[in-house]
Chains A and B, each alone.
Chain A
Amino acid sequence: MSTAAAGAIDHHHDPTTSTGIPNKKLLMWAFLASDCMFFGCLISTHLIYRLHPPPGVPAARQIFSIELTSFSTFILLMSSLMMALAVNAIQKGNLRSMRASILTTILFGSIFLGCQVYEFNNFVYEKHLTITNSILGSTFFTLTGTHGTHVAIGVLWLTLMYVRSFKPSGPEAAKGTWLLLSFVHLIVFAATLVLSMYLVLHFTRAAQASGFSGGTCLSFVGSQYPAILGAITGFLALRWFAQPRGAVDFDQHNAVDVEMMGLYWHFVDIVWIVIFTAVYLLEYIS
């Protein structure tokens, strides 16, 4: 085939399997097909109870915030673009570009999760919509919470892949020190991410409560300085971990692993495309 002639890897076909498709990719497509049915049932349940609501169900239109949800949708779409670019980069052997794209995808995924945490917080404490006090809350939180869990798993998977891309090749890998280092790398990454999200959410709440001003910023820094210092230390540590230390055991041959993760991430995006229309936008049609 042309692959052999050009000396490159054909990422869409694998002559060593009976189907001609890499087994990992086939596994992921089979899983996604089953996940379609899972989400299909959750969305149907929500729609059935929206079409035939019991008396006393709060008006969803007065609870939802179309601005926030539109922003999350846009962010998730852009994360899908970055994921596609990450797969494209590793298929061409461009490791540096793949890492940058994966980091951006993690950032966008985290922003989406942050928006969801903010939205849930707002619904529960200000709009008094909980998972148990109405059928709208039950179906809404179950559906969007399950999707959010998928996003969180995707962010974890992306982080693991990012850390994995630093595995050294040759005798260094055999020593096992990289395993310890990568474990610390993962912990630092997770801690920095959680701290950053915590700070952004608390700052948003403080700015909402007392307006965005210099005084608000100063009092926020004063009250949250341990977390801010922790986040800054985390970012510096991540920068140290990302410094090049020789050849790594991650190249075009790992493209199928990145592509498999990409398929999962894009699936999370397409599920949100349906949820955005079925759960949010339809409520605004009078």
Chain B
Amino acid sequence: MSTPALAHAAPHHDAEENKFQLFVQIAMLLAVITGIEIITVYLPFASWLLVTTLVVFSAVKFMFVIFIFMHLRWDKPFCTILFFIGLILASGTMWALLKLFGAAASIPLSSAGMIDGLGLLR
């Protein structure tokens, strides 16, 4: 009886040890990505490329934190679904607002670009 129990306990202990190491490794990775992000903004590349790179880096950091630090990887999928409902709604709202206010007719009348365009500043 004791042999199977021991055999069961050893992998459990290893899994816990690995979790500790995993947390530390992920934290180091997040710190490195943050460092790369800071360097990225000074690189002489096209703006759209830099913005895309920064958004991808942020998304990667975001996913690492929610799936590893917040345990979504080990929890029931319902937690992931619940959180992603909020996340998708928030992302959709952000996208819609940025698109709405980006359209020429929706640019705030007080914005510098609009005033320039109307020739009111000159």
Contact = CB atoms under 8 A, between A and B. Distances in A.
Contacts, number: 169
A74 B76 contact: no
A269 B101 CA distance: 28
B69 A83 contact: yes
B101 A34 contact: no
22 contacts: A12-B71, A21-B79, A25-B79, A26-B78, A26-B79, A26-B82, A33-B87, A36-B86, A40-B89, A44-B94, A47-B98, A54-B108, A55-B110, A55-B115, A66-B38, A77-B30, A80-B69, A88-B16, A266-B70, A270-B65, A284-B42, A285-B41
B86 A34 contact: yes
Contacts of A84: 23, 27, 68-69
Of B19, B55, B61, most buried by chain A (CB within 10 Å of CB) is B61
Contacts of A43: 94
A88 B69 CA distance: 10
Given A77-B27, A266-B66, A277-B55, A52 B111 contact: yes
Nearest first, the 5 A-B pairs at minimum CB distance are A33-B86, A40-B90, A81-B27, A52-B111, A284-B41
Interface of B: 5, 8-9, 12, 16, 19-20, 23-24, 26-27, 30-31, 34, 37-38, 40-42, 47, 50-51, 54-55, 57-58, 61-62, 65-66, 68-71, 74-76, 78-79, 82-87, 89-91, 93-94, 97-98, 101-102, 107-108, 110-115, 121
A37 interface: yes
B74 A6 contact: no
Interface string A156-168: 0000000000000
Interface in A22-37: 25-26, 29-30, 32-37
A81 B65 CA distance: 9
Contacts of B23: 81, 84-85, 88
A133 interface: no
A153 interface: no
Given A29-B82, A48-B98, A88-B20, A39 B90 contact: yes
Contacts of B84: 33
A181 interface: no
B27 A88 contact: no
Nearest to B24: A81
Given A6-B12, A52-B108, A270-B65, A259 B71 contact: yes
Given A52-B112, A70-B38, 4 more contacts: A29-B82, A36-B87, A49-B108, A85-B20
A41 B97 CA distance: 8
Main secondary structure of the interface of B (DSSP, over half): helix
Main secondary structure of the interface of A (DSSP, over half): helix
A92 interface: yes
Contacts of A230: none
Nearest to A39: B90
Contacts of B89: 36-37, 40
A53 interface: yes
Nearest to A283: B41
A34 B88 CA distance: 11
A282 B41 CA distance: 8
A70 B38 CA distance: 8
B86 A37 contact: yes
A51 interface: yes
A21 B90 contact: no
Contact of A21 (B8, B42, B50, B75): B75
Contact of B90 (A37, A80, A83): A37
A118 B55 CA distance: 28
